[in-house]
Chain A
């Protein structure tokens, strides 16, 4: 009778311990962001790692998302005779929700797992120990550049996703469905305001922080051998995706307050 209780208790304690350790990891890493010397070259390299390597997939998913959105929303608006609002509908959906969320999910799948594997390999090949033995902080060299890079790259990728998505929607709306290009863009200008853009930016920032945090933490604490790295990588992707779901829920609440 006590065994299942004990098992649940042990599981709960270990999860609380993990959460605590993840939180401490984040706090100490963020603390290092503000302490010089700053590693600008490493940060630039990691922005390139997140940004450039994910650009193609962002361009593809962004354009097709905008196109599908335009097609489906036109079908709905047509029923009410409000096709003129297609531009703002596509732009608001992309800027407030789809841009940050989908671009973050694309980057998580590609760069998040690669980041965990890279740091995990540095852990098992004692490169992190080598940094510590040189009296250098591994967090400054490995974690901070990734956190900063993600905080810069995610909003930028989200913006590119929005832009390409709006143009994808334009192609479908104007070239395929016969809407005038003036209607598509002029209505957009009057309906999209700065607050909408801020909502998207805040979401992208939170996604960036979560993906970099989870991926770095999992890699930094990878177990022994190749198996440890592979497990850490899988856990990082699963955790990042779960976090995305949590963020979506959280976004809903933010969205309902921030209208």
Chain B
């Protein structure tokens, strides 16, 4: 599904976080949005599913403006999304099985046996077996992300949003989550939006990379184009340099 973000603006308590974001995300591509912490990447992502309403601007999902359609249509659009939240956002009062089965139980009329089969399959897909009866608090950070990914993919959504899927993970877990994203993207052919600042690993997973800085998309292109970019902001960010146009607290 194609997503168009048009001149999106959003302020919090008088502080403008998004200052006119323009970005087109093509059908079935995996785009990674990079940028410094606190620059508004997660805010942008939450606009995509209508968790935030912008001050102005629009987001078109297959031509439908998510902020202009009625509540029922927003729900219909949301059903086509899967979201992997930063901390996993697993329901802590439910077991792993109940968490992954939840969207199916609530949104479909599948039988118990079919749901069991789908959940087992989804957990296998993310490399987790034998943890169905555990609670999220009993799992490691990496395992929680995998369960969250299984839950996000269980309804086979057309668009999957990943909000910093590797935050707080060790390098090995980080690479395994990235590999998982590539594998599931290939298998399910969804349009993927990944928020991340894992440089350089994201260049291996992205079809395209966009950089958000100072409330705007300052550059978007193929991973190799971004790596070769002459834009001083992009250059400073991907090299991690302290010198450059991005102000750093010393």
Q: Do A and B bind each other?
A: yes
Number of interface residues of B (CB under 8 A): 22
Determine the chain B residues whose CB is within 8 A of the CB of A122 once the complex forms: 91
Q: Are B89 and A134 in contact (CB under 8 A)?
A: no
CA A127 – CA B89 in complex, angstroms? Answer: 5
- Name the contact of B103 in the complex, choosing from A127, A129, A132, A134 (C-beta under 8 A): A134
Q: Tell me the smallest distance from the CB of A122 to a CB of chain B, in Å.
A: 8
- Say yes or no: is A189 at the interface (Cβ < 8 Å to chain B): no
Determine the chain B residues whose CB is within 8 A of the CB of A136 once the complex forms: 106-107
Task: Please classify how large the interface on chain A is, using the bins under 10, 10 to 19, 20 to 34, 35 or more.
Answer: 10 to 19
Q: Are B87 and A126 in contact (CB under 8 A)?
A: yes
Q: Are B85 and A135 in contact (CB under 8 A)?
A: no
- Say yes or no: is B18 at the interface (Cβ < 8 Å to chain A): no
Interface centre among A127, A129, A132, A133, by most chain B C-beta atoms within 10 angstroms, is: A133
Interface centre among B74, B83, B86, B107, by most chain A C-beta atoms within 10 angstroms, is: B83
- Say yes or no: is A245 at the interface (Cβ < 8 Å to chain B): no
- Say yes or no: is B78 at the interface (Cβ < 8 Å to chain A): yes
Q: Are A133 and B75 in contact (CB under 8 A)?
A: no
A135 with B107, Cβ < 8 A, contacts A127-B91, A130-B89 known:
yes
- Say yes or no: is B249 at the interface (Cβ < 8 Å to chain A): no
A135 with B83, Cβ < 8 A, contacts A125-B89, A129-B89 known:
no
Q: Are B83 and A130 in contact (CB under 8 A)?
A: yes
Q: Tell me the smallest distance from the CB of A229 to a CB of chain B, in Å.
A: 14
CA A13 – CA B76 in complex, angstroms? Answer: 36
- Name the contact of A126 in the complex, choosing from B74, B86, B102, B103 (C-beta under 8 A): B86
CA A204 – CA B215 in complex, angstroms? Answer: 51
- Say yes or no: is B49 at the interface (Cβ < 8 Å to chain A): yes
Q: Are B75 and A129 in contact (CB under 8 A)?
A: no
A134 with B106, Cβ < 8 A, contacts A125-B87, A126-B85, A129-B46 known:
yes
Determine the chain A residues whose CB is within 8 A of the CB of B102 once the complex forms: 134
A135 with B79, Cβ < 8 A, contacts A129-B46, A129-B51, A130-B85 known:
yes
* Residues of chain A from 124 to 152 with CB closer than 8 A to chain B in the complex: 125-127, 129-130, 132-136
Determine the chain A residues whose CB is within 8 A of the CB of B106 once the complex forms: 134, 136
Q: Which residue of A lies closest to B103 (CB)?
A: A134
- Say yes or no: is B67 at the interface (Cβ < 8 Å to chain A): no
* Per-position 1/0 for A111-131, Cβ under 8 A of B: 000000000011001110110
* Residues of chain B from 91 to 119 with CB closer than 8 A to chain A in the complex: 91-92, 102-103, 106-107
- Say yes or no: is B81 at the interface (Cβ < 8 Å to chain A): yes
* Per-position 1/0 for B22-51, Cβ under 8 A of A: 000000000000000000000000100111
A135 with B89, Cβ < 8 A, contacts A129-B46, A129-B51, A130-B83 known:
no
Determine the chain B residues whose CB is within 8 A of the CB of A135 once the complex forms: 74-76, 78-79, 107
Determine the chain A residues whose CB is within 8 A of the CB of B79 once the complex forms: 134-135
CA A243 – CA B106 in complex, angstroms? Answer: 36
Q: Tell me the smallest distance from the CB of A180 to a CB of chain B, in Å.
A: 53
* Per-position 1/0 for A30-58, Cβ under 8 A of B: 00000000000000000000000000000
Interface centre among B74, B81, B106, by most chain A C-beta atoms within 10 angstroms, is: B106
Q: Tell me the smallest distance from the CB of A128 to a CB of chain B, in Å.
A: 9
Q: Are A132 and B87 in contact (CB under 8 A)?
A: no
Q: Which residue of B lies closest to A124 (CB)?
A: B87
Q: Which residues of B contact A (CB under 8 A)?
A: 46, 49-51, 74-76, 78-79, 81, 83, 85-87, 89-92, 102-103, 106-107
6 further contact pairs, Cβ within 8 A, besides A132-B78, A134-B79, A136-B106? A122-B91, A129-B89, A130-B83, A130-B89, A133-B81, A135-B76
Q: Which residues of A contact B (CB under 8 A)?
A: 121-122, 125-127, 129-130, 132-136
What are 10 sample pairs from A and B whose C-beta atoms fall under 8 A apart? A126-B89, A130-B83, A130-B89, A132-B51, A133-B78, A134-B107, A135-B76, A135-B78, A136-B106, A136-B107
